[in-house]
Copies of this chain bind each other. A is one copy, B any other.
Amino acid sequence: MLNFSQERYLKVTEGALSLRSQIEQAADEISKKGFKNIFLLGSGGSIAIMYPFEYMLNSLSTIPSYAEIASEFMLQNHKQFTKESLVILSSLSGTTEETVAAAEYCKQHGVTSIGLVGEMGTPLAGLVDYPIANYAENDFAADSINLQMYMLVFRLIHNHGEFEQYETFIDQLQTIPEQLIKVKELTDPKAADFAARYKNEDYHMLVGSGTAWGRTYAYAMCVLEEMQWIRTKSIHAAEFFHGTIELVEEDLSMILLKCEDETRPLMERVERFAEKYTKKLSIFDTADYPLDGISQEFRKYLAPLVLATALQRVSIHLEKQRGHSLETRRYYRTVAY
């Protein structure tokens, strides 16, 4: 596959999975000590990764959970945030300004924090109570963090007596790296087609729901907008019919990110509409991938991971077809703001 190093990918994903005992030990220690609620903090790509886990926590567990944008959270004086809270943050570089500030804020408030980082010795790693490190570069960052989040969040839920299938789920996850490569291979021709067909499109509407919403929001903002300078609207499937629908015309590009959780009917409704009213409809659906070794009951949790890995192929092909490097920025780390 174009611009894909299987060796590097396996190193990142297997590296994340190899943290299992470290993550479980941290989670068990935290569960034993006790906590009242979980705050998932981040900005941009890193808060987008948290949204599906907030959804899963709310669906599976009575632990109250709040995914909050880090810099707003620090200003608003959130009353559920107490010394009995648990905070989870992530930053690949370990230097993201708002995330580091949020970790400092937690420390000042005496709140237990876990930080998922690319390497130890970074500012975030130095500030949190439980730093967990797995080296990754930007292209595979979501895969690395997602894998760690499954182990961390589901272990905490399990310890709370609410997900007894934990061992089976995480055992099955050990073989996912090979399956994710298959996801990439299966997506690749479709991604190449998409990029060739839509390379000149100046706007895409992205629709998702449930566990796929975070990736929908992130792919629009962190890839199409940030890395390709293409305008987007990301809209939740349940919200689409309340306004954004009126933009649809037969030459408007719609990208649907479908998953297999309870919210699938919301996406099917959007799909039925889109099939009728636009000729530019693209669908990426977790149900299209076999994911051998993963039980049916666990598939619905994997949308964030599967969609991130699949869409990464779209990014690679857009880069090539559009002659626009995924690394080029007008502003970020180019000008001060």
Contact = CB atoms under 8 A, between A and B. Distances in A.
Interface of A: 43-45, 47, 55, 58-62, 64, 69-72, 75-80, 98, 203, 209-210, 221-222, 225-227, 229, 231-233, 235-236, 238-239, 241-248, 261-263, 265-266, 269, 272-273, 277, 329-332, 337
Most-contacted residue by chain B among A239, A242, A248 (CB, 10 A): A242
A233 B232 contact: yes
Contacts of A209: 72
Given A64-B64, A273-B337, A76 B210 contact: yes
Contacts of A248: 330-331
Given A58-B78, A233-B232, A248-B331, A221 B242 contact: yes
A153 to B, nearest CB: 14
Nearest to A331: B245
Given A75-B266, A229-B247, A337-B273, A44 B222 contact: no
Contact of A329 (B60, B246, B273): B246
Contact of A62 (B80, B226, B236): B80
A216 to B, nearest CB: 13
